[in-house]
Amino acid sequence: MHYLSTRGGVEPIPFTEAMMMGLGVDGGLLLPRAIPRINRSTFESWQELSYGQLAFEVMSRFIDDIPAADLKEMIHASYTSFTHQEVTPLVHLDDMHILELFHGPTFAFKDIALQFLGNLFDYILNRDDLTINILGATSGDTGSAAIAGVRGKERINIFILHPHNRISPIQEKQMTTVTDANVFNIAVRGTFDDAQAIVKDVFGDIDFKTEYRLGAVNSINWARVLAQVVYFIYSCLHLSSHEKDRATSFSVPTGNFGDIFAGFIAKKMLPEGSINTLLLATNANDILARFVNEGDYSRGRVIATSSPSMDIQAASNFERYLYYLYDRDPARVKDSMERFKQEGKLDLTSELDKIKRDFTAVSVSEGKIRETIATYYNQHNYILDPHTAVGVYAATKHRKQGIPMVCLATAHPAKFRESVQMAIDKQLDLPKALRSIINKPSRCEVMNADKKEIMTFITKNALK
């Protein structure tokens, strides 16, 4: 399987090269040349597979430049760090199914991709005798999951910028208490956008990027999307037998279009009629909901909500969907993305019918999020985190009689304890692994939102 850029400027490259490239050198995003189709009998034969076995079956169809035995071992290593035997168990609450994606080391769904990504980087770097310096900015969850994925790996140094004093105390501790020598936390005096802008600027400095072999772990990396395709398929296979024969709908809380795009790929792979509706759920930052409902993709101001990991106004993975929406025409994608960069908006009303065939979308207010958390606690004794509640609320509004609905649970409620406690009026205990980090020593550099200062720091601490 070879990979192409959404903007048409990259010669077809094999998987591992696409993985190392991250963002396409032409500024586009990388995608497989074709989406492999799974026929019905193969799909049915996957019924009894464990999560890891299924991950191998799915991923190996996109990865043909790593020997099967090595890929299997990497997948195995990635998911043994999860505390639940099933990795992503389904919980059934009456007729709503909750797919718990938060049993990894940092209690959010990003572990599912980033545990694998860490091992994959390590494998490629050893194979090719290379080193890499990973650079990223985080509003909380990505940073800790990325750090957990690469800590202690000899051929990788990781530099993660977060906005100083603007992430939750637990999120900060999760990152800064990792004191392995290859981990560098930088707290930037400024907002997440300031930190993100610096990272983009540094990546844009091609000489610097090449000299220090900078690598990316954000969801522009195809391997992250690929790892997330697996649990959509896994849950289709693990519904109760009377529901399994029906097409399954998914409700996906999203901000960056990453998780919902993984669902879109899963739908394309599986036999016709396996996946029904892909419900795209956003918080008050509704750019993606406006896009699906009105064909209006225009950047607004970022609003702070109780689901901060979705407080995003420009979804990086959106470009991948645009490529399919435009019938895989890279010239049109390039043109549109350049226009979006300049004008901050795209008018896609002419494509509305097509978009609505792919997605249904809902934007969920803070009040509804709180209400949903309270309702599920009172009626089911089940505690939703605010991100998950966004998807669950959307699902209650849009589910159809007789069609099974799976809601993706993207974080453990304790990770966003303050908002959850307010909604259910009850103190939440922290899981042991989170409790133990509160008093651990931490290491972090506090720096100005100054590109030069940060580049100097990277220069001093990068793997040569």
Ligand X SMILES: *Cc1c(COP(=O)(O)O)cnc(C)c1O
Bridging pattern class, strands 96-100 and 30-32: unpaired
Cα end-to-end distance, the chain, whole Å = 32
Q: DSSP secondary-structure letter at 463?
A: -
Question: 392-451: which residues touch ligand X (CB under 6 A)?
Answer: 410-411
Asked if 308 touches ligand X (CB under 6 A), the answer is: no
Question: Least distance to ligand X from the beta carbon of 136, Å?
Answer: 13
Active site residue 426: no
Asked if 253 touches ligand X (CB under 6 A), the answer is: yes
Q: Which of 259, 311, 319, 358 binds ligand X (CB under 6 A)?
A: 259
Task: Rank residues 372 and 410 by Cβ distance to ligand X and give the closer one.
Answer: 410
Q: Which of 32, 255, 295, 330 binds ligand X (CB under 6 A)?
A: 255
Task: Rank residues 170 and 411 by Cβ distance to ligand X and give the closer one.
Answer: 411
Asked if 218 touches ligand X (CB under 6 A), the answer is: no
Other Cβ atoms less than 10 A from the Cβ of 315: the count is: 24
What sign for the dihedral angle of Cα 199, 205, 211, 213?
positive
Q: Which of 100, 111, 122, 141 binds ligand X (CB under 6 A)?
A: 141
Going by C-beta distance under 8 Å and a sequence separation of 6 or more, which residues neighbour residue 410? 101, 102, 108, 109, 253, 259, 309, 385, 387, 388, 391
Q: How many residues does the chain have?
A: 464
Interacting span for ligand X (CB under 6 A) from 58-66, 147-155, 248-256, 434-442: 248-256
| Strand positions, DSSP E, 340-449 | 345-347, 360-363, 405-409, 445-448
Asked if 194 touches ligand X (CB under 6 A), the answer is: no
CA 7 – CA 134 distance, rounded (Å): 24
Task: Rank residues 256 and 274 by Cβ distance to ligand X and give the closer one.
Answer: 256
Task: Rank residues 133 and 228 by Cβ distance to ligand X and give the closer one.
Answer: 228
Question: Least distance to ligand X from the beta carbon of 387, Å?
Answer: 4
Q: Tell me the residue nearest to ligand X as measured from the CB.
A: 258
What residue type is assigned to position 96 of the chain?
M
CA 78 – CA 72 distance, rounded (Å): 10
Bridging pattern class, strands 183-189 and 132-137: unpaired
Q: Which of 254, 274, 305, 336 binds ligand X (CB under 6 A)?
A: 254
Q: Which of 309, 360, 363, 372 binds ligand X (CB under 6 A)?
A: 309
Query: Minimal CA–CA distance to 360: which of 390, 392, 329, 398?
Result: 398
What residue type is assigned to position 273 of the chain?
G
Looking at 72, 110, 173, 354, which residue is catalytic? Answer: 110
Task: Rank residues 63 and 411 by Cβ distance to ligand X and give the closer one.
Answer: 411
Question: Least distance to ligand X from the beta carbon of 188, Å?
Answer: 19
Asked if 110 touches ligand X (CB under 6 A), the answer is: yes
Question: Least distance to ligand X from the beta carbon of 259, Å?
Answer: 3
Query: Minimal CA–CA distance to 269: which of 38, 44, 43?
Result: 38
Other Cβ atoms less than 10 A from the Cβ of 395: the count is: 25
Asked if 285 touches ligand X (CB under 6 A), the answer is: no
Question: Least distance to ligand X from the beta carbon of 253, Å?
Answer: 5
Number of residues that bind ligand X (CB under 6 A): 15
Q: For residue 455, with 0-12 CB atoms within 10 Å meaning exposed, 13-18 middle and 19 or more buried, which class applies?
A: middle
Q: For residue 347, with 0-12 CB atoms within 10 Å meaning exposed, 13-18 middle and 19 or more buried, which class applies?
A: middle
Give the H/E segment covering residue 19: helix 15-21
Asked if 387 touches ligand X (CB under 6 A), the answer is: yes
What residue type is assigned to position 5 of the chain?
S
Question: Least distance to ligand X from the beta carbon of 414, Å?
Answer: 12
What residue type is assigned to position 272 of the chain?
E
Interacting span for ligand X (CB under 6 A) from 73-81, 256-264, 330-338, 364-372: 256-264
Asked if 310 touches ligand X (CB under 6 A), the answer is: yes
Task: Rank residues 105 and 330 by Cβ distance to ligand X and give the closer one.
Answer: 105
Bridging pattern class, strands 405-409 and 248-253: parallel
Interacting span for ligand X (CB under 6 A) from 24-32, 92-100, 253-261, 273-281: 253-261
Q: Which of 143, 258, 330, 404 binds ligand X (CB under 6 A)?
A: 258
Task: Rank residues 209 and 267 by Cβ distance to ligand X and give the closer one.
Answer: 267
Going by C-beta distance under 8 Å and a sequence separation of 6 or more, which residues neighbour residue 53? none
Interacting span for ligand X (CB under 6 A) from 251-259, 294-302, 395-403, 427-435: 251-259
For 316-343, the DSSP string reads TTHHHHHHHHTTS-HHHHHHHHHHHHHH
Question: Least distance to ligand X from the beta carbon of 452, Å?
Answer: 30
Asked if 256 touches ligand X (CB under 6 A), the answer is: yes
Task: Rank residues 66 and 266 by Cβ distance to ligand X and give the closer one.
Answer: 266
Task: Rank residues 325 and 411 by Cβ distance to ligand X and give the closer one.
Answer: 411
For 392-422, the DSSP string reads HHHHHHH--TTS-EEEEE-B-GGGGHHHHHH
Token pair in block for residue 89: 């168990």
Instruction: Give the catalytic positions in this structure.
Output: 110
Binding site for ligand X (CB under 6 A): 108, 110, 141, 219, 253-256, 258-259, 309-310, 387, 410-411
